[in-house]
Structure 1
Amino acid sequence: MASATPSRPPRPDSAAAGPRGVIEVRGLTKRFGSFTAVDDLDFDVRPGRVTGFLGPNGSGKTTTLRMLLGLVRPTAGTATIDGRRYAEIENPQAVVGSALEATSFHPGRSGRDHLRVLATVAGVPARRVDELLELVGIPAAARQRAGGYSMGMRQRLGLAAALLGDPAVIILDEPANGLDPEGIRWLRGFLRHLADEGRTLLISSHMLGEVEQTVDDVVIIANGRRVAQGTVAELRGRATAYVRTSDPDALVRALSDRGVQARRRGEGLQVDTGDLVLVGDVAHAADVAVHELRGEQTHLEELFFTLTETAENRNRNLGDAGAADTRHRDPQQEDRR
């Protein structure tokens, strides 16, 4: 595989002032009937950095990316690149490259022919196709039909397609799916190289372990809402507390009344604060004896599961409360609504 990056075609927006490739999402919301897939979402993605867009399956990641790329119309809010919606970008292939589905290739067309068709539509020189096939490591499979590609090969072909216009912004949905350990290691290095060139990379995944060693920044969502955003170092450095008590359930309730989340972990509780004095004071006020109390630094994967699980449980409880409210609502009052 070639290690050099192909020469870049000139970009039509190269004279634009300020940093290029800034993604801004503000109040982004998408409802499908009564179902809210994305709910008042805010986050930023900056040039020269790899941002991991993380959340469980069904959390709204793909819907968000599709709104950013103009494929789905938001119910409310905005998603812009350099202050413009995708539909407002002139020659978008030279600004934004994306790969949302590794299966969206004509099975009877070769990998090279697939890229040639896209290159023709985008006005990209044909020589760029072979450069990219070499760059993503599948030149030997260029003449094979895409229908016979493994998932990992399709992922690489999708990445080549995303890079055709040499864009400043690259958006990839679950790019590590189907890659073996060697392929994942290659992907990490490749994405890092692209970011080091000053490009903006937004990478979605439901598997934190696949991207933790690649990304600089993290946006975590659950049930369509952002539950955390920060650099990897910031999120890793979040302080928490571990406490063993005589009555864990009572302490969970008391902490919740103070706006602090806690959950069972082994024989004790994991508390979402590093303020040990606060935890001790709450326990004392609730007349709960504390047997052990210590501060901890959260592992990123543990934080991911904690945040998403907490958000999902909260949403489930709200749903149950809403259902109960519907069951007990006065029918005459309902008629007046």
Structure 2
Amino acid sequence: MGGTVPSQPDRPQIVVDRLTKRFGGFTAVDDLSFTVDPGRITGFLGPNGAGKTTTLRMLLGLIRPTSGTATIGGVPYAAIAQPQRVVGSALEATGFHPGRSGRNHLRVLADTAGVTSRRVDEMLDLVGIPAAANKRAGGYSMGMRQRLGLAAAMLGDPQVLILDEPANGLDPEGIRWLRGFLRHLSSEGRTILVSSHMLQEVEQTVDDVLIIANGSLVKQGPMSDLHGEATSLVRSSDPARLAAALQEAGVASSPAGEDALTALTGDLRRIGDVALTAHVALYELRAQGADLEQLFFELTESPENANRNLGEAS
């Protein structure tokens, strides 16, 4: 993206290994390990106080771990010679001088990153705020601040992007834009880690999910694998007859209301063929599975993962 920045190290991976952070007697992050692969968008989820922001700050060298390591491309952030050209980050939408224009804010950062003013204008266009570039950033809406933060993160054309709640303050159009923006970046092979509490949006955006509670990992995997066993909801004129026909065809089912069944298959065509053969009219037929919100609460509200840190800073 943009022709003014040299190429980056090839497809760096984020590796967190037994990372722990204690503040006095409070353990914010507890023996946490995970990886984030290039070319994929990874959602980083957890209740308030779970340790997400603390983990990201250790990953970016802003606070020192009590123990364990966090590396990007095999080295700690502090050891990267030109970090802005390898890692782009946006941990909050307030990291700017309120009296400085958006363009001048980016120009200051461009000087530290060793990139040109042309790159500044490219990024303002990329995130969709060129018309506000000369206005004071202190007057920006929350959504515009988020876009300015993304522009700053992308100045060095990094191969790794680490974002904390990037959709906060965005309207529906802005959220849709962000989804496409991140998808485009991941298609270029970049490594993207996104912390968010917007579960429905995460479900539509990410490839992989990390869920933590009390600073510890409780689930990691591809989004496609977290939905559980495929099932289908079927509403029909004669659910009992349909259930018998499905059973004869080797498909188990269970009642799901007065006129509905849950069939233990995601093969809608197979269900339709069985219903046709059994001469049962269908009113509704759709695939279903456990959504991310359901999984999130099942995991984080279980007795062993109940949030001990609620009310503490994450």
State TM-score, norm by structure 1.
0.72
Residue type of the alignment partner of 1:10: P
Q: Distance in 2 between matches of 1:239 and 1:186?
A: 30
Q: How far apart are 1:122 and its partner, in Å?
A: 1.1
Q: Distance in 1 between matches of 2:79 and 2:48?
A: 30
Q: How many pairs were matched up?
A: 252
Cα contact 2:4–2:115 (8 A) shared by 1: no
Q: How far apart are 1:210 and its partner, in Å?
A: 2.1
Q: Does 1:113 align with 2:113?
A: no
**Structure 1 equivalent of residue 113 of structure 2:** 122
In structure 2, the residue corresponding to 1:116 is in which secondary structure? helix
Residue type of the alignment partner of 2:3: S
Structure-2 change in CA distance of 1:8 and 1:301 (3 Å): farther
Cα contact 1:223–1:312 (8 A) shared by 2: no
Which protein has greater RCO, CA pairs closer than 8 Å, 6+ apart? 2
Percentage of pairs with the same residue: 74
Alignment of 1:1-337 (within 5 A): 5-7=1-3, 9-11=5-7, 14=9, 20-237=11-228, 297-310=289-302, 314=306, 316=308
Q: What's the CA shift string for 1:192-222, capped at 9, x where partnerless? A: 0000011110000122112211100000011
Residue type of the alignment partner of 1:54: L
Residue type of the alignment partner of 2:171: D
Structure-2 change in CA distance of 1:130 and 1:36 (3 Å): same
Structure-2 change in CA distance of 1:312 and 1:176 (3 Å): farther
Q: Distance in 2 between matches of 1:311 and 1:224?
A: 15
Structure-2 change in CA distance of 1:313 and 1:93 (3 Å): closer
In structure 2, the residue corresponding to 1:106 is in which secondary structure? coil
Q: Give the unaligned 5+ runs of structure 2.
A: 232-287, 309-314
Q: What's the CA shift string for 1:120-177, capped at 9, x where partnerless? A: 1111111100000000000000001000000000000000000000000000000000
**How big is the alpha-carbon RMSD for the aligned residues of Structure 1 and Structure 2?**
1.7
Q: How far apart are 1:187 and its partner, in Å?
A: 0.3
Cα contact 1:227–1:311 (8 A) shared by 2: no
State TM-score, norm by structure 2.
0.77
Q: Give the unaligned 5+ runs of structure 1.
A: 241-295, 317-337
Cα contact 1:222–1:312 (8 A) shared by 2: no
Q: After TM superposition, what 4+ stretches of structure 1 lie above 3 angstroms from structure 2?
A: 311-316
Q: How far apart are 1:312 and its partner, in Å?
A: 6.6
Q: What's the CA shift string for 1:216-273, capped at 9, x where partnerless? A: 0000011111110000000012589xxxxxxxxxxxxxxxxxxxxxxxxxxxxxxxxx
